[in-house]
Amino acid sequence: MSTPILFITTTLIWGSTWLAIKGQLGVVSPITSVTYRSAMAAVILLALCWKRGVSLRFPWRMHLALAGQGAFLFSLNYVCVYVAEQYVSSGLVGVLFSSLSILNIFGAYLLFRMPMSAGAVLGSVLGVAGITLMFFPEFVSMDQHPQLTKGMGMGVLGILFACVGNLLAIHTQREKVPILSGATWGMVYGTAISALVGVAMGVSWAVDLSPLYLLSLLYLSLFGSIVAFLCYLTLLGREGPGPASYVNVLTPVVALLLSTLFENYQWTGMAAAGAALAFSGNFFILRKPKRN
């Protein structure tokens, strides 16, 4: 699959998951929903590995890295996102996660000495600035809603977890762990960790049998946790943390476009300018450096 297709597929799927996550909130605990989501994804991935004859055997040291990847990328990250969206809009959470592109670039440079191109940094800064502009009115009104502080705090924690998970994913790929088997183990460990957190917090494991909850759970598991992550991890290994992480800049824009269609979101001049600025970062992120 070509890089543009990987990029577009991941962006469109994750951009639509913001709406799907809203269908998970209300009756079922966020930790419970994350556990069910990753458990369903883990079962599907295990079946896929079995059908394709993909080996799942790795040294125990590699399992530590895969467990960390599962904890931060497939479990704790999403627990924070689900909790954050109980207090703030998905747009504000999207603003926070747009900064993941910058964190990943600098983290990969510091830990792995991966090249940090000026184009990647500039594109990420433009993207984050654009997303911030789109949701600036919500930032201004934060002091009027004390609960936003808790939501933003969980969002910040979630992005830090996601950054650690991305760096661990880079490490496992540099150690030649195949993407499918690595993602499978990560999802298994993520499910176990989410379940342990849920047990420790005494959450209810009741299932919401409404069509909205079940359909959103199926979509998030199959597309949000399997298809999109396999595309994203492939993009991460092929193009590096800059282009891969820019997906997190464009997903809020896609989410707003879908919100326009399904939630009657009203665009403003500031929001349109922010979207244009965010999209302009693509030019710097995805362009190839000139060869002498």
Rounded to the nearest 10 degrees, the angle between the axes of helix 179-201 and helix 147-174 is 150
**Could you read off the pLDDT of 142-154 as tens digits, one per residue?**
666 667 777 778 8
Is the pLDDT at 140 greater than 70? The verdict is no
Distances (CA, A) of 200 to 34, 40, 144, 194, 195: 15, 21, 34, 10, 9
How many residues are listed for the chain in this entry? 292
**pLDDT band (50, 70, 90) for residue 164:** very high
**pLDDT band (50, 70, 90) for residue 44:** very high
**What pTM, to 2 d.p., does this model score?**
0.83
Instruction: Say which residue the tokens 């297709």 belong to.
Output: 5
**Could you read off the pLDDT of 242-290 as tens digits, one per residue?**
667 778 777 877 877 777 777 676 778 887 888 788 777 766 765 655 5
- Element containing residue 63 per DSSP (H, E): helix 60-69
Q: Residue 43, exposed/middle/buried by CB under 10 A (0-12, 13-18, 19+)?
A: middle
CA distance 222 to 31: 18
Helices (H), 70-210: 76-84, 90-98, 100-112, 118-134, 136-140, 147-174, 179-201
- What pLDDT score does 196 carry? 94
